[in-house]
Amino acid sequence: MKIGIDSYCYHRYFGEVYDNQTVPKNRMSFEDFIKRSIEFEVDGVSLETCFIPNFEETYLKKMKDIMDKGGLEPVVAWGHPDGLEGGKKKSALENMKKHFKTCHTLNARVMRIVCSSMAFRNEPHLLQIRRLSKMLKEPTKMAEENGIRLAIENHFDFTSDEILEILNNVHSDYLGVTFDTGNALRIGEDPVEAARKLSTHIYAIHVKDVAPSYGGDPKEWYFFASVPVGRGIVDIPSIARILEDAGYKGLFAIEVDYLDPKYGDEDSAVAESIKYLKDLGKKIS
């Protein structure tokens, strides 16, 4: 099991603070995140493009050098928060295609992409699927030409069956899935069954454990708040075994979005999650 950290774990420290969160005393730079990941002795990082301050080649090569020295395998994560907006935002598509260069510079072989979001989950899904199936054909061909795999995240928008429909419509080994374990539950699926359905198409993973935040509003997405991996209600061991059996070789990147306040700060949650996954990896290997 190759353990990674998604930079979204530290979104508050990058300046993105939800209305129901506190502003941290200190900030974190992109370079700080990479160095912290090296200190954690993980295998890789998933790098949210929204938090990368500079896409100049010189800067990215400097970051790559730090990652190389720390033994970090990178995934480029594009599209926060709404990505292609269900196939309606052509300007976002053009922005996404620019990040093939980012992938090359950082030597990332997978790019997480966001096709929709919870902001569009109540709009007709069939229409979104049709638009996206058409929209993704060109960048998927570009992905093949660049040797980079695109991976659609289940971003609290589509079910596993709906994502499979998009994949079948585009029909390319260069378009797959970033499977978010917590988002599967939030949209009403059994994460284990969703992982089983998608297993042969998964190129990246967000290991997100969640639990009900008692006293919250069940209608709100953050009712199922992030918790340290192993503390929630997602059956992470079963999902890990399914992916192991499917031959998955990518990162198990920990992601924390809205951390339940009773678990303290994100850095502590990440540390506990890493220990849990390292122990789990020994058991299933």
- pLDDT tens track for 98-124: 999 999 999 999 999 999 999 999 999
Mean pLDDT across 223-230:
95
- Which domains can be identified in the chain, with CATH numbers? 2-284 (3.20.20.150)
181, 199 contact by CB (below 8 A): no
Tell me: pLDDT of 259 over 80: yes
Tell me: pLDDT of 218 over 80: no
Residue-wise pLDDT tens digits, 28-71? 999 999 999 999 999 999 999 999 999 999 999 999 999 999 99
Tell me: pLDDT of 7 over 80: yes
Q: Which amino acid does the sequence have at 172? A: S
pLDDT for the residue numbered 26: 94
Burial class (CB in 10 A: 0-12, 13-18, 19+), 152: buried
256, 266 contact by CB (below 8 A): yes
Work out the angle between the directed axes of helices 191-198 and 236-245 (0-180°, nearest 10): 10
Residue-wise pLDDT tens digits, 146-169? 999 999 999 999 999 999 999 999
Residue-wise pLDDT tens digits, 71-83? 999 999 999 999 9
273, 254 contact by CB (below 8 A): yes
pLDDT band at 219 (very low <50, low <70, confident <90, very high): confident
- The pLDDT mean for the chain works out to 96
Gap between the Cα atoms of 249 and 236, Å rounded? 17
For 11, phi then psi, to 5°, come to -60, -35
Tell me: pLDDT of 16 over 90: yes
37, 45 contact by CB (below 8 A): yes
